[in-house]
Structure 1
Amino acid sequence: MNIKVTFVELSAFEAILPLASGYMQAYAQHDPEVGPRCEFEIYSAPVSADREKVIAELLDRRSDVYAISCYVWNIGFARAVLAALHERLPGAAFILGGPQVMRHAHEYVAPEQENVVVCNGEGEKTMAQYLRQILGGAPDFAEVPGISFWRGGELVTTEAAERVRDLMEVPSPFTSGVFEEGKYTTAILETNRGCPFSCGFCFWGAATNDKVHKFEDQRVRDDITWISKNNFVSLFIADANWGMAPRDVELTRHLVACSEENGYPVMVAMAAAKNKPDRMAEITEILVQGGLLTSQPISLQSMSSRTLDLVDRSNIKPETYTELQRTLREKRISSYIELIWPLPGETLESFKEGIAELCRLRADTLIIYPQLLLHNTSIYAKRDILGVQVERVPSDVTEADVVVATNWVSREEYERGTWFSYAVHSLYNLRGLYYLANYLERSGVSRFEDFLTDAATYFESRTDTEVTSFFRDSVAKLWNYDFHNFGMVAHLVLHSHREEFDALLVDFARSRPWWDDPRARAAFELDLLARPYIYLARPRLPRHDFTELRVEPRGRTASLVEMPADLAALLIDLDVTGLETGRERVTRLVLDHPRGRKLPFMPERSLEHNASYCQGMVLRLREYLPSWRPEREAAALPGRR
């Protein structure tokens, strides 16, 4: 008996190469007992695709086996696909895999669905042994290690499957011809498996939190070359800690060399090594110089030592991250620090204090994600002990459970922290009141945490603006789960509702006691002038009566700004002018809004598409942040008329 096997991947975004399915197909088709008797195909579609069309196309395959990859972002879609296929093709067999379903068969498979099994670990070996049973004609799933299934009303879970320790046992799906050429634009590359860390919130290494196993160097080089020659626009390196191994530096050089020779890829993303700041700085610089990377992620997650201990991340030192961020800033390379709210052990006060400390350290951008309670993580296993309470994102595509309370944070405090996050994003990341916040902090008038708290409270009190209404809905309706949410904020405050946000900032500032300080007013006016443009657009002076600064337009993109000397000194100290501290007193600076690699606003495209662009730009601060230069250099600047 020969059979047809369809691997089903419902990806988060369009045109992403289905690496997991590719591995399983490559492994199975090289098995002498399985490969010759199976016809393999991979079906992939984004979760945004029409559901009925996807189901119809899968039904048309009339496959004997459907293998469906399940993640938190697609499990609702995957459930619907399974239900439809199971009803219409009762003779087919189904195997589910992925972090969302592993060890959770009781939640996703009904007792009467005895032809549905769940893979509880790595898929390659389990899939091949599962297919051997199917090919035998009278399958005994109890002979397949690493799965769960129903039999006679009892849920059976077999012994765990052995890990693939020699990764070279898995043939390359790239060079063995598994993937259809020209179908995908984003490649995923794995150079090793495993993670030495066991962070409580992460399912990355859910079944593999031990020794890291590597593909051989030449295998990785060949895969990179294939990706480059097949015109993949972007590449995501899916190692848990890219840069942990010394060889990663040379592999990075090879990647850049391939890009220079073939023109692809043009963009690279990665999960950076946790405790190798010097090596990561070197890798980042290589990628930036090669034009493949514009910003370095720094996954800090929390500044609280208690929190890092509770989530088994205490062996990853915050100092490592701040050192990396400092190095990147000195090299004029953008970076962004990733944080999670609210992790166990984190209080509202420690959360605010941690962010304030990062502001004092001049972090480029702070990206604050909601905590999701993910299956197969230690926090999930200890959720009752930790007092974890969740609310599910309203969606028929995902099953995202957002943590809204813990033993350390009440539901109300969770909301306060989320409002605080929007103040951080709009006022610090997007430079709404960046100079003012720094001035108040350094002059001892108001600490960062107090200033941002005041702003968050004020924003919450305003029900009459589109911007604050968006914040309110995001907090109440869990919109912050959406990957594009921060991009939407950037679109609102830096483009579509720019003047409304200007007015909101003016109202907030004038309501504060420090408004009587002329230096505070001057810093505020600097912020109004210097608020960046995220799209390619001609800068316009804000509608504001400047009382502390003298502003004179210079050409199409710049303005000459005369300011108090101590305020100019603040700019110099913040590393925005390139001047050395201690030189002559500067009071006249040129503010220039760069064109950079910005795109214009695209009204013909969807709002989600434009928000996606803004989301990417938010992470690349130096792509859109204006520059300050001494007046004497103004004539040498390009674009002057």
Structure 2
Amino acid sequence: MIQTTYTLYQVSQVIMHINFVSIHIAPSPRAIPLGVGMIAQSLRSQFPEEISTSLIDCYIPQDPAVQLAKVLAGNPFAVCISIFLWNSESAIRLIQDIKGSHPEVLIIAGGALPTALPDNFSSIREIDHILPGEAENSVIELFEGLLAGKPQPRIIPQGQPPRLEDVPSPYLGGLIKPAEYGGALWELSRGCPYKCSFCFESRGTTGIRRFPEDRLQKELKLFQAAGVSEIMVLDPTFNFDARIAKRNLQMMSTLAPDIHYTFEIRAEHITIELAQLFAGLNCTLQIGLQSIHPEVLNNLNRTCNTETFQKRIHLLHEQQVPYGFDLIFGLPGDSLRGFLESVDFTFSLAPNHVDIFPLAVLPGTALFDSAESLGLQFLPEGDYQVIKTPGFTPEDLSAAADIADFVDRFYNQGKAVSWFDLILEYLDLSPTGFFQIGASLADLASQPSSPLDFQYQVIHRILEHLNCTSRYPLIQDFITYFWHVNGVFAEALDASPTCGDLQFNPTLRTAAFMYNPFEIIQWIESGIHDFGIIQQYMHASRHMFAFACADSELTFLECTEKEFDFLHKLTAQCQPDFNEALDMPPRSRERFVTAGIAARSI
């Protein structure tokens, strides 16, 4: 085994400075350096007089020279980099750039890929040490040895996983400042009770270890005080223990009720009480389904009883809890037909969103070890995506990928859950029938200005394909209505627009229609779902509406032409003509206030 020795003279700085680097896909409230932050905080707490640590955030699109300058800031003795599937190419290039310009800097690599492939990464000569697995303890052992001038192995042994009650919080320690990110990644526990063969957790520690409740309460209070808008809870099965899940949900509702939470859960552990607690929280649930076929799931060390699954999801549906599903195509034992059956089942449950992924045969997983016996062919590096299986030809995988792309753009980004089933009913299509026709007719390579424009394009082409384009204007209005109504509850302008003594609602949206959308909704609610019949009884004329959210309720105003033009400019963040605002009839100003889309400034 290769060893590297650093003498006492080399590390006898008054304070040894170490930069911990995360390379994210892009800036976002979820691009939080929690992994390296946990390790850096452990090291800082153990050696407060000898070692200082900094967290460096880099992003894949950044210029390599910019990344290099950030990472070398503060003249670090060592740079620790976390390497994952999505950033491995950027991370390795950065490591080589560091050693090329500053060969004296110690390079330490950790993360999922070095954990799975330690020997592969030890062959990269620029890497001095590898910290596989949970490294809060092993990083301390490494630097104890370096500070003592003792030779250290290239690959640091993992040893026993750390006791979570002994692991300091980088949030509470001030190393990660949530206010700077707007969001937080939050660990309540580590470990997973399941051993799904495609997941890194399949080779992790058995059982679940939990962080102390008093730590979680302090972190949650910190998040609330910092104005964090969203938290991604990292527990792979948040609701495995219903008793603990209930206690944690009550804690969130009490201490930080304004934050949006995202949880990963298992459907079979949903209870009525948990569904009610989720409903009382601003949250979204992500549920891994992957496939509905027992013979496929058996190859993954998973099970799913579809009847039970439906019943448990119905509990969430009754409580109006937003939920989404994960599906994987290219699974061993599956086929394109079987995958489409899973898609149809998924959309029968009215999910808020559906994330569909190609199978990745990840190094370090049980599936990686059994891939050859299952007949899986996959890319040997990069994203390790499957390229052929006994049930999927390359053409089948390409067709499934087109559907995945289409579902994301049309359904997820387009927030189509409110109306999609009604369109399917009218067109007499299954979900996959719609997706296949839509993906074949739509220009998936184009980038429409918005998801709504993409939906317009797709619906028009499908109606052309089915020879019923005369229904398009009414269906377009129907879709447009839900886009804006859903939008007022999900998005707001950067600031509340003001004009004169009026301060306008920051959720304000405007839209023009050929048919009155509220009349369309009345027909739908009366049980008439045939858009052709509805259109026969409606009069086409221009209708202009303003929408907003006031006191958690939808408010709207049918506008005059002048009012609509004024408000449209306002929502487009253009400055309306000041004289026009002053000349606006008093009745319009009162109408804006009465409708709840504006209030008089105090």
Secondary structure at 1:343 match in 2: coil
- Residue 241 (structure 1) aligned with residue 225 (structure 2): no
Q: Give the letter for the 1:80 counterpart.
A: R
The 2-side partners of 1:67 and 1:272 are apart by: 32
Deviation at 1:567, TM superposition (A): 5.7
| Counterpart pick for 2:345 among 345, 351, 357 | 357
After superposition, give the CA deviation of every residue in 1:393-412 in whole Å (9 maximum; x if it has no partner): 9xxxxx32332322211101
User: TM-score with structure 2 length normalisation?
Assistant: 0.74
Cα separation, partners in 2 of 1:424 and 1:95, compared to 1, 3 Å: closer
User: Given the alignment, which residue of 164, 168, 189 partners 1:167?
Assistant: 164
Q: 1:201 to 1:525 in 2, by over 3 A?
A: farther
Asked if 1:22 corresponds to 2:37, the answer is: yes
Amino acid across the alignment from 2:35: A
Query: 1:189-268 to 2 correspondence within 5 Å?
Result: 189-203=186-200, 205=201, 207-245=203-241, 246-260=243-257, 266-268=259-261
Equivalent residue for 1:313?
Answer: 302
Residue 372 in structure 1 maps to residue 347 in structure 2: no
Distance 1:65 1:24 in 2: 14
Q: How does 1:36-51 map to 2 (within 5 A)?
A: 36-51=49-64
Task: Give the distance between the partners of 2:312 and 2:538, measured in 1 at CA.
Answer: 33
Instruction: Verify the 8 A CA contact 1:437 1:451 in the aligned structure 2.
Output: yes
| Residue 298 of structure 1: how far off its partner (Å) | 2.1
Post-superposition offset of 1:234: 2.0
| 1:95/1:603 CA distance change after superposition, 3 Å | farther
Whole-angstrom CA distance in 1 between matches of 2:452 and 2:297: 34
* Preserved CA contact (<8 Å) 1:494 1:533: yes
Which residue type is aligned with residue 128 of structure 1? I
The answer for unaligned runs of 5 or more in structure 1 is: 142-148, 150-156, 394-398, 472-487, 543-551, 572-586, 605-636
CA gap 1:194/1:274 in 2 versus in 1, 3 angstroms? farther
Does the CA contact (< 8 Å) of 2:22 and 2:57 recur in 1?
Answer: yes
* Residue 90 (structure 2) pairs with residue 93 (structure 1): no
Cα distance between partner residues in 1 of 2:148 and 2:113: 29
Matched, 1:384 2:369: no
Residues in 2 aligned to 1:303 and 1:345: alpha-carbon distance in whole angstroms? 12
Higher mean displacement: 530-539 or 39-48:
530-539
**Would the aligned equivalents of 1:277 and 1:323 in 2 still touch at CA under 8 Å?**
no
Pair 1:427–1:130, CA change in 2 (3 A): closer
Change (3 A) 1:335 1:190: same
Tell me which of 126, 129, 145 is aligned to 2:141.
Answer: 129
1:593 Cα shift? 9.9
Matched, 1:340 2:328: yes
Q: Does 2:483 align with 1:533?
A: yes
Q: CA deviation at 1:197?
A: 0.8
In structure 2, how many angstroms separate the alpha carbons of the residues matched to 1:376 and 1:36? 37
Identity of counterpart residues, as a percentage? 16
Q: Which runs of 5+ in 2 are unaligned?
A: 1-11, 489-508, 532-536, 555-567, 574-593, 598-602
Q: CA RMSD of the aligned region, Å? A: 3.8
Correspondence list, 1:281-320, <5 A: 281-287=275-281, 292-293=282-283, 295-314=284-303, 317-320=305-308
Structure 1's 173 and 206: CA in aligned 2 closer, same or farther, altered over 3 A? farther
What secondary structure is seen at the aligned counterpart in 1 of 2:375? coil
Q: Any conservation in 2 of the 1:311–1:379 contact (CA below 8 Å)?
A: yes
Partner Cα distance (1:137, 1:363) in 2: 58
Quickly say closer, same or farther: Cα 1:423–1:231, change in 2 above 3 A.
Answer: closer
Q: Which amino acid counterpart does residue 422 of structure 2 have in structure 1? A: Y
Q: 1:210 aligns to what SS in structure 2?
A: coil
Is the contact made by 2:275 and 2:319 (CA closer than 8 Å) also made in structure 1? Answer: no
User: 1:428 touches 1:434 (CA, 8 Å); kept in 2?
Assistant: no
Preserved CA contact (<8 Å) 2:145 2:151: yes
Which residue does 1:477 correspond to in 2?
A: none
Which residue of structure 2 lines up, in the alignment, with residue 581 of structure 1?
none
Tell me how far apart the structure 2 counterparts of residues 561 and 603 of structure 1 sit (CA, whole Å). 27
Name the aligned partner's letter for residue 272 of structure 1: I
Counterparts of 1:172 and 1:451, CA distance in 2: 48
Report deviation, 1:562: 8.2
Superposed displacement of residue 310, structure 1: 0.8
Q: CA deviation at 1:507?
A: 1.2
| 8 Å CA contact 1:5, 1:38 repeated in 2 | yes
Shift of 1:419: 3.0
**8 A contact 2:33–2:57 mirrored in 1:** yes
Q: Which residue of 2 aligns with 1:402?
A: 385
- TM-score where L is the length of structure 1: 0.70
Tell me, yes or no, if structure 1 residue 276 matches structure 2 residue 277: no
Classify 1:530/1:342 alpha carbon distance in 2 versus 1 (closer, same or farther; 3 Å).
farther
Deviation at residue 41 of structure 1 after TM alignment: 1.9
Question: Equivalent residue for 1:507?
Answer: 464
Tell me which of 1, 5, 9 is aligned to 2:22: 9
Residues of 1 paired with 2:210 and 2:525: CA distance? 56
Alignment partner, residue 631 of structure 1: none
User: Distance in 1 between the 2:114 and 2:84 partners?
Assistant: 8
Are the aligned partners of 1:371 and 1:403 in contact in 2 as well (CA < 8 Å)? yes
Cα deviation, residue 196, structure 1? 0.8
Contact 1:281–1:324 at 8 Å: present in 2 too?
no
Which residue in the other structure is 2:176 paired with? 179
Retained in 2: the 8 A contact 1:348–1:417? yes
- Tell me the CA shift for residue 451 of structure 1: 5.2
Aligned residue runs from structure 1 range 66-105, under 5 A: 66-105=79-118
Q: Which residue in the other structure is 1:611 paired with?
A: none
Q: CA offset at residue 213 of structure 1?
A: 0.7
- Name the counterpart of 1:484: none
Q: For residue 440 of structure 1, report the CA deviation from its aligned partner.
A: 6.0
Give the length in aligned residue pairs.
Answer: 507
One of 395, 408, 420 as aligned partner of 1:412:
395
Q: Which has the higher contact order (CA 8 A, sep 6+)?
A: 1
Is the 8 Å Cα contact of residues 17 and 185 (structure 1) preserved in structure 2? no
Maintained 8 Å contact 1:243/1:283: no
**Residues 428 and 521 of structure 1: CA distance in aligned 2, closer, same or farther (over 3 Å):** farther
Distance 1:415 1:161, change over 3 A: same
Instruction: Tell me which amino acid in the other structure corresponds to 2:280.
Output: I
Which of 318, 334, 347 aligns to 1:330? It is 318
Change (3 A) 1:99 1:428: closer
Residue matched to 2:5: none
* Counterpart Cα distance in 2 of 1:528 and 1:258: 43
Check 1:538–1:134 CA distance in 2 against 1; reply closer, same or farther (3 A cut).
same
The answer to whether the 8 A contact 2:142-2:152 is kept is no
